[in-house]
Chain A
């Protein structure tokens, strides 16, 4: 038996003993509760703690930083086995998927020791301080100022669309440290505690009725200078690197449940079987088929696109097995996945007819009301994390090499 196979068996028996039964199912949409939030359950916490103790929340990070120290192959086996029992790697967050990889690449040893173990163990919840009210897609147009004062930076300004800021402990933030420099040259990347004096956080209500985003205001907020990552005024390169990790996370590539390929295939088939069943339930039938041939065609097309997309992320993984991080194709995946999801939501709305148009109260089933909100929420997919238009510009320039 080769060592990978014995590793697999070891993982299987560890999972059998340590993964609570309640955690052996994927939670999506409204069921998915971010860890660290008040709704996060006891057994979920237990599962997180047990994984963290083994370094399984960040399997390929070095052990000294709270990771599992696993090879890429071992990490794949771990994710496969976790996927096979229907669970997911717990503690997935901005910390594990975005800040962590950036610190590993670009942080100093002290900074890694200071922040990574807390991220891996799920002790700190991180928020991203990127977008500003006046600068959304034009990220480099940011105005939040940080002025050096002794061992500290004093920060003034505001951020918007900060996911989960009201539930976060720390922020990784882009600040302008040289207002005289060219747009991209005066930006720095700094970390600070959101509980600091001068921070005000207010949630933003969305068209879906939810409010997972916040606006955050800084008034003379003090951040330790040692928590500036990389060089002062050279933060833009770090910002861009982090965006690649973010796009990867949003498109679900690399951050998904990581089940075996057949598992992923089955999941796609299951989702679309449910969509088709729903359409058959709400729409007229003819000979057991959807009578509306246009809807039938669109459903099929959407399923086929999803299959091709899933295969493409898988292929990218196989082709990058040399160990390279996500490149600019992350932009393609981010763009395609979010546009595909919007089309899917529109199709489900069409399938449900007027039953998808409820807001609250009598006359609608809970899943029908949830659908209305999911449709509204999906509109943000192609805006957050860089709009579709920005992604397409990145593909054209970075992947295809088209001129500016």
Chain B
């Protein structure tokens, strides 16, 4: 396992950084917001990213991918995170794409995933039902009907669900809410009868949809009936890990921006960075950032090595990044004073996105509880 970036990863990082700076700086997100864009992201930008090989980065070569690892994927997410670049990367490639990769029958798997790798097919995962992340708290029902299944229920916070061509829907085939057993993953075409997808605009200007399933027919099961969690759990861990890399990107940029401000802004006739009250808080943020970087690197390399400690590391990474991103975003606003409160500055965009990141895939307390349970405390 490697904690430092390899030379190849460093090259990938600098190309990605240049690309994002040229094509998706924060003004890109601002433009989408101000223009009340119907999708909330740029399909052209996503097509460009796909052309660079991002959408197929972890996909098999047979499906048009580059068969690289999560270490490389994390590098790209970190760069997207720095500039808050919106795209269906996570939802399509890692989350729902991961479920298809792990659970779809071969004849479907390859055509769908090569579409994903080309950036043409968009996928989304419909999992959450309540206001907090609780992957087994599923009440949406799937009932047998002839050769297929009929789905009923309601899903919330479906990341990029409003643009998905196909949805992976988690429904209950037995047991009751909270049980790990009895979950089944279904693949559903977006225009299916009985399916209503409503886009919600979030505080960070990203998109999560509400999905209503009113007797939707589903024919394809991903994985095994009742054992959907076997497919879902590793996918969620992997998605959470790269999402942590995105958080790392956000906090790195926010931190650097803030330090720069402390060096230039004058008050009381001196640079505000001379004040010890601010210096010590800057030093504390630096430590949070460094610790976050270490655990994110370890987690993605553990995924690539297929290490046994992936679930515990994911807990450590997400708890650490949730706390750190929150601290750094809040301090960024506070240290910028009144400027931080204005919409004209980009700071608010960082704070808003950080709050969404903190919660997505479970907040810090969720992951500490999960870690303690895994350790048997």
Which A residues fall within an 8 A CB radius of B?
261, 265, 272-273, 276, 279-280, 288-290, 296-297, 299-301, 303-305, 307-309, 311-312, 314-315, 318-319, 321, 329, 332, 335-336, 389, 391-393, 395-397, 399-404
Which single residue of chain A is at the shortest CB-CB distance from B373? A289
Q: Is the interface of A mostly helix, strand, loop or mixed?
A: helix
| Contacts A308-B316, A309-B291 given; does A400 touch B369 at CB 8 Å | no
Provide the B355-369 mask, 1 if CB < 8 A to any CB of A, else 0. 000000000010011
| Contacts A276-B375, A307-B295 given; does A400 touch B286 at CB 8 Å | yes
Q: Which of B2, B309, B377 counts the most A-chain CB atoms under 10 A from its CB? A: B377
Contact at A399–B286, with CB atoms within 8 Å? yes
How far is it, in angstroms, between the C-alpha of A399 and the C-alpha of B279 when the chains are bound?
Answer: 11
Contact of B294 among A296, A315, A404 (CB under 8 A): A315
| Contacts A389-B280, A401-B263 given; does A335 touch B294 at CB 8 Å | no
B50 lies within 8 A of chain A by Cβ:
no
Starting from the known contacts A311-B294, A315-B3, A399-B286, 13 additional A-B residue pairs (CB-CB under 8 Å) come to A296-B369, A297-B369, A300-B372, A308-B291, A315-B4, A332-B286, A332-B290, A335-B287, A336-B291, A392-B283, A400-B259, A402-B274, A402-B282
Contact at A304–B262, with CB atoms within 8 Å? no
Within B270-328, the residues touching A (CB, 8 Å) are: 271, 273-274, 276, 278-280, 282-284, 286-287, 290-295, 297-298, 309, 315-316, 319-320
Q: How many residues of B contact A (CB 8 A)?
A: 41
Which single residue of chain A is at the shortest CB-CB distance from B372? A300
How far is it, in angstroms, between the C-alpha of A297 and the C-alpha of B273 when the chains are bound?
Answer: 35
B202 lies within 8 A of chain A by Cβ:
no
Residues in B with CB closer than 8 Å to A261 are 1
The minimal Cβ–Cβ distance linking B291 to chain A, given in whole angstroms, is 4
Contact at B286–A300, with CB atoms within 8 Å? no
Residues in B with CB closer than 8 Å to A301 are 319, 368
Contact of B377 among A265, A299, A389 (CB under 8 A): A299
A-B contact pairs, 28 of them (CB 8 A): A265-B309, A273-B375, A297-B368, A297-B372, A299-B372, A299-B377, A303-B375, A304-B320, A305-B291, A308-B291, A308-B295, A312-B290, A318-B4, A329-B290, A335-B287, A336-B291, A392-B280, A392-B284, A393-B279, A393-B283, A395-B282, A396-B280, A399-B283, A401-B259, A402-B262, A402-B273, A403-B274, A404-B274
Contact at A318–B2, with CB atoms within 8 Å? yes
Which single residue of chain B is at the shortest CB-CB distance from A265? B309
Q: Which of A301, A304, A319 counts the most B-chain CB atoms under 10 A from its CB? A: A304
How far is it, in angstroms, between the C-alpha of A402 and the C-alpha of B275 when the chains are bound?
Answer: 9
Contact at B276–A304, with CB atoms within 8 Å? no
How far is it, in angstroms, between the C-alpha of A400 and the C-alpha of B309 when the chains are bound?
Answer: 34
Residues in B with CB closer than 8 Å to A399 are 283, 286
B371 lies within 8 A of chain A by Cβ:
yes
| Contacts A297-B365, A311-B3, A318-B3 given; does A304 touch B371 at CB 8 Å | yes
Residues in A with CB closer than 8 Å to B290 are 312, 329, 332
Which single residue of chain B is at the shortest CB-CB distance from A388? B280
Which single residue of chain B is at the shortest CB-CB distance from A279? B377
Contact at B297–A332, with CB atoms within 8 Å? no
How far is it, in angstroms, between the C-alpha of A319 and the C-alpha of B291 when the chains are bound?
Answer: 14
Q: Is the interface of B mostly helix, strand, loop or mixed?
A: helix
Contact at A308–B292, with CB atoms within 8 Å? yes
Q: How many A-B residue pairs have CB under 8 A?
A: 123
Residues in A with CB closer than 8 Å to B280 are 389, 392-393, 396
Q: Which of A280, A321, A403 counts the most B-chain CB atoms under 10 A from its CB? A: A403
| Contacts A389-B280, A402-B274 given; does A315 touch B297 at CB 8 Å | yes
Contact at B3–A314, with CB atoms within 8 Å? yes
Nearest 3 pairs of A and B residues by beta carbon: A396-B279, A315-B3, A311-B294
How far is it, in angstroms, between the C-alpha of A392 and the C-alpha of B287 when the chains are bound?
Answer: 10
Which single residue of chain B is at the shortest CB-CB distance from A298? B368
Residues in B with CB closer than 8 Å to A321 are 4
Contact at B377–A312, with CB atoms within 8 Å? no
Which single residue of chain A is at the shortest CB-CB distance from B273? A402
The minimal Cβ–Cβ distance linking A206 to chain B, given in whole angstroms, is 27
Residues in A with CB closer than 8 Å to B263 are 401-403
How far is it, in angstroms, between the C-alpha of A311 and the C-alpha of B376 when the chains are bound?
Answer: 23
How far is it, in angstroms, between the C-alpha of A395 and the C-alpha of B375 when the chains are bound?
Answer: 35
How far is it, in angstroms, between the C-alpha of A332 and the C-alpha of B283 when the chains are bound?
Answer: 8
Residues in B with CB closer than 8 Å to A315 are 3-4, 293-294, 297
How far is it, in angstroms, between the C-alpha of A404 and the C-alpha of B270 when the chains are bound?
Answer: 10
Residues in A with CB closer than 8 Å to B292 are 308
Contact at A300–B368, with CB atoms within 8 Å? yes
Residues in A with CB closer than 8 Å to B286 are 332, 395, 399-400
How far is it, in angstroms, between the C-alpha of A384 and the C-alpha of B15 when the chains are bound?
Answer: 45
Residues in A with CB closer than 8 Å to B309 are 265
Which single residue of chain B is at the shortest CB-CB distance from A404? B274
The minimal Cβ–Cβ distance linking A395 to chain B, given in whole angstroms, is 4
How far is it, in angstroms, between the C-alpha of A335 and the C-alpha of B290 when the chains are bound?
Answer: 13
How far is it, in angstroms, between the C-alpha of A300 and the C-alpha of B292 when the chains are bound?
Answer: 16
